[in-house]
Structure formats: C-alpha cells, structure tokens
Amino acid sequence: MQDKKILTQVKDLIRKKHYSYRTEKTYIYWMKQFYYYFDKRNPAEMGSREILKFLTYLATQKKVSSSTQNQVLTPLEIIEG
C-alpha cells in the first residue's frame, strides 16, 4: 500500500485501544482491500461516498454479512477521521 503512514496511524490507534493482534490484522486487510478497490487512490483523499460504494460492493457482489460490513467500516472510519 502506497500510503504506509495511514496504516501506521491505524495500527497505533488499534494498539492504543488494546485490540487483539488478530483484530489489527483484519482491519489492515480490509483497509488494503479498500485501497485496491479504488485502484490505489490515496485513502486520505476519499470519504463517505467511497466508503458507502465499497460497502455496497461487498454486500451485493461479495455477499459479505452485515457483521463483516461493520467490521470493515471501523478502520475506514479511522481514515475518514
């Protein structure tokens, strides 16, 4: 991922909140999926519209559950900040 600074910030926040390592890995995974879905656009330049589009894609195309969508949303909200 091009903007490692964002990933580092998210990792720091996750660790500050004492989330598990597995949760950290999951959040980073979904952030990378978001990044690649938008052809490696800088996540800091994206907002609610892109997050909604990505969540809609996951729900309609990938058929992920609502709990997975919520899991995806958390780290993306950190980006949107």
What pLDDT, on the 0 to 100 scale, is given for residue 1? 45
Prediction pTM value: 0.83
CA distance 44 to 68: 22
Domains of the chain: 4-80 (1.10.150.130)
Structure confidence at residue 42 as a pLDDT band (50, 70, 90): confident
Q: Phi then psi for 15, rounded to 5 degrees?
A: -70, -35
Per residue, the 3-state secondary structure of 36-80, as one string, reads HHCCCCCHHHCCHHHHHHHHHHHHHCCCCCHHHHHHHHHHHHHHH
- List of residues 6+ apart from 78 with CB closer than 8 A: 9, 10, 13
